[in-house]
Amino acid sequence: QQQVKQSPQSLIVQKGGISIINCAYENTAFDYFPWYQQFPGKGPALLIAIRPDVSEKKEGRFTISFNKSAKQFSLHIMDSQPGDSATYFCAASRGGGYQKVTFGIGTKLQVIP
Amino acid sequence: NAGVMQNPRHLVRRRGQEARLRCSPMKGHSHVYWYRQLPEEGLKFMVYLQKENIIDESGMPKERFSAEFPKEGPSILRIQQVVRGDSAAYFCASSPTTAPSQETQYFGPGTRLLVL
């Protein structure tokens, strides 16, 4: 059972454009939604995260939009740069002592000059 | 402050051999998580450990796989009698002891296991 559905699986964006990655979840017990960035040969690194009590969170060029009623959240990368080319994973977890993170399938982003 | 360390980075085993993957969490972290990433897939939770305790192993196959996090030394993920389907990248993550910072998991670079 795929608890976090992510799309698209691959994305090509021109430099300076906006990259948008969408995720949907099923488990209403999830209360923490991080995004991870992974470069080839490296481990995932936390990029930005949001809790369901806010609808948007922005850090630099990265913005998470969260729609609790629709159980959807998305990552927007403004002014996309070639250095942003990586695989992005949305994820979800629930509190209660520790975080067993459920990952989406990943989106391979390529930003072309 | 060194990050999460994993070794070896690459491991080649023949079918039937044993694979031992090691993870040293970040300094001050006492929570360790293991994930498996199959080619072109997301990461799947395997097991969560604290020092000397397995807290949740619900994502780990019942046979051939085991994990430990001793009082001293790194966490070990052990795969006995490996099969080709075990070929994957295995990532370890650690998190601090106290909430809410528990929610941030820091990942190591992974061990890429290839079973011939």
Q: What is the mean pLDDT of residues B92-106?
A: 74
Q: What is the mean pLDDT of chain A?
A: 92
- CA closest to B104 among chain A residues: A46
Q: For residues B1 and A71, what is the distance between their CA atoms, to the nearest angstrom?
A: 37
- CA closest to B110 among chain A residues: A43
Q: With bands split at pLDDT 50, 70 and 90, how would you rate the model's confidence at B75?
A: very high
DSSP readout, B39-97? Answer: TTS-EEEEEEEETTEEEE-TTS-SSSEEEE--SSS-EEEEE-S--GGG-EEEEEEEEES
CB nearest to A105's CB, from B35, B42, B55? B42
Interface size, chain A vs chain B, as Cβ–Cβ contacts under 8 Å: 60
* A48 and B CB contact within 8 Å: no
* A8 and B CB contact within 8 Å: no
Model pLDDT for residues A3-52, shown as the tens digit of each residue? 899 999 999 999 999 999 999 999 888 888 999 999 988 899 999 999 88
For residue B110, give the nearest of B59, B57, B54, B46 by alpha carbon. B46
- CA closest to B108 among chain A residues: A43
CB B93 within 8 Å of CB B106: yes
Residue B40 in this model has a pLDDT that exceeds 80: no
Max CA pair span of chain B:
42
The percentage of residues in chain A with a pLDDT greater than 90, rounded to a whole number, is 76
- A33, containing H or E segment: strand A33-38
Model pLDDT for residues B45-70, shown as the tens digit of each residue? 999 999 889 989 999 999 999 999 99
* B29 and A CB contact within 8 Å: no
Strands (E), A39-106: 45-50, 56-59, 62-67, 72-77, 86-92, 102-103
Q: What is the mean pLDDT of residues B64-80?
A: 95
Residues of A in contact with B41 (CB under 8 A): 105-106
CB A63 within 8 Å of CB A6: no
